[in-house]
Every structure is written in C-alpha cells, then in structure tokens.
Amino acid sequence: SLDEQGNFTGFASVYGNIDSYGDVVMPGAFTLDLATRGKRRPLLSQHDPKESIGWVELTDSSRGLLATGQLLLDLPKAHDDYI
C-alpha cells in the first residue's frame, strides 16, 4: 500500500512463488544479506543507483521479504514514480 505522503508497505519478494522465469525464492534467501548489509537501504528508481528517491527498511518474515519505506515526494523523480 502507498499513501499520499509516500509511505508504503508491501512484499518485495514472496517465498515459494514461481516467477515468470520459473525461479522460486526460498525462506532464508535474504538472511545473510540483511545481517551483513543492514535492513535500511536507499530506495532506487528503476534500480538505478544514481536515482535515490527515498528509503526502505527490509524485514525477513515467514511469508517473504517485507519492505516498509517512504518515497521522498519533494524529489521530482520520486514524484514522477509516484504518479
């Protein structure tokens, strides 16, 4: 879900789901990365490391990788991605 202030919560990845390429992410897939790189990350537009448009906090849950964060809507690119 995404509100008018740019706050959002949703799953970045769901365990056991078969994607369009036939890949399946299994529980524990993010454990090492979250432990070594931390849970809070920059939110990137279209995966572009030069386009940080907010922040995201990642949490490993029994269902998958939960993402909670905020688009910084005062940034033009974040606003464009929001609408």
pLDDT at 36: 97
> Alpha carbon 50 to chain centroid distance?
16
Residues contacting residue 51 through CB under 8 Å, at least 6 positions apart: 44, 45, 77
pTM of the model: 0.84
User: Burial of 64 by CB count in 10 Å (0-12 exposed, 13-18 middle, 19+ buried)?
Assistant: buried
Residues contacting residue 73 through CB under 8 Å, at least 6 positions apart: 5, 6, 79, 82
**pLDDT tens readout for residues 45-83:** 999 999 999 999 999 999 999 999 999 999 999 988 888
**pLDDT tens readout for residues 5-60:** 999 999 999 999 999 999 999 999 999 999 999 999 999 999 999 999 999 999 99
CA distances from 41 to 20, 44, 77 (A): 26, 9, 18
